[in-house]
């Protein structure tokens, strides 16, 4: 639909310019052409500004966050205290490709997780409620 509108405007523009240049002197025709370009820039300027604002407020911070998450997942090692996206805290006991074995609780129950299921690496040791009660 946008292409059809663009072609319609492009076809109408030469006819209008030709009619205007036939009735006006060349200096006036040049000014009306320049005014058309300025008008077109004025039309697209708000859209360009909206895109720039979206880029700096939404796209760029999300890319930075994704980059940090990828770096964190790549740096996982045995012995790290982690939290999964499901809220399970544990310690990594084995890493094989994209599969992690995590020890959980006082009984050191082993659970298997995909690497992408890790939310973050804990800086301080967080004890589970089960460990605190025993």
Provide the pLDDT for residue 32. Answer: 63
Q: Residues 43-62: pLDDT tens digits?
A: 899 999 999 999 999 999 99
Residues 6+ apart with CB under 8 A from 92: 76, 77, 78, 79, 80, 82, 100, 101, 102, 103
Quick one: pLDDT at residue 123? 83
Q: State the pLDDT at residue 10.
A: 63
Predicted TM-score of the model (pTM)? 0.58
3-state secondary structure of 43: helix
Report whether 84 contacts 120 (CB < 8 A).
no
For the cut 90, the answer to whether the pLDDT of residue 15 exceeds it is no
CATH number at residue 88: 2.30.30.30
pLDDT of residue 111: 97
Which residue among 52, 72, 92 closes a domain? 72
41 and 56 co-located in one domain: yes
Query: What are the phi and psi torsion angles at 78 (to 5°)?
Result: -60, 135
Q: 22 with 44, same domain?
A: yes
Q: What is the mean pLDDT of residues 18-44?
A: 64
Residue 99 belongs to domain spanning = 77-133
- Whether the per-residue pLDDT at 28 is higher than 80: the answer is no
User: How far, in Å, CA of 36 to CA of 39, rounded?
Assistant: 5
The DSSP element (H or E) to which 26 belongs, if any, is: helix 26-54
Question: pLDDT band at 132, cuts 50/70/90?
Answer: very low
What confidence tens digit (pLDDT) does each residue in 85-96 have?
A: 999 999 999 999
Please give the torsion angle defined by the CA atoms of residues 25, 27, 30 and 34, in that order, rounded to the nearest 10 degrees: -130
Asked if residue 124 and residue 86 are part of one domain, the reply reads yes
């Amino acid at each position: 639909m946008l292409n059809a509108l663009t072609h319609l405007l492009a076809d109408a523009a030469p006819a209008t310019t030709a009619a205007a240049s036939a009735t006006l002197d060349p200096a006036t025709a040049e000014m009306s052409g320049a005014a058309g370009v300025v008008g077109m820039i004025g039309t697209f300027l708000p859209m360009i500004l909206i895109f720039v604002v979206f880029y700096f407020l939404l796209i760029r911070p999300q890319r930075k966050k994704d980059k940090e998450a990828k770096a964190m997942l790549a740096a996982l090692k045995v012995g790290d205290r982690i939290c999964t996206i499901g809220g399970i805290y544990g310690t990594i006991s084995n890493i094989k490709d994209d599969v992690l074995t995590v020890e959980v609780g006082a009984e050191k129950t082993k659970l298997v997780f995909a690497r992408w299921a890790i939310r973050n690496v804990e800086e301080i040791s967080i004890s589970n409620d089960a460990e605190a009660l025993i």
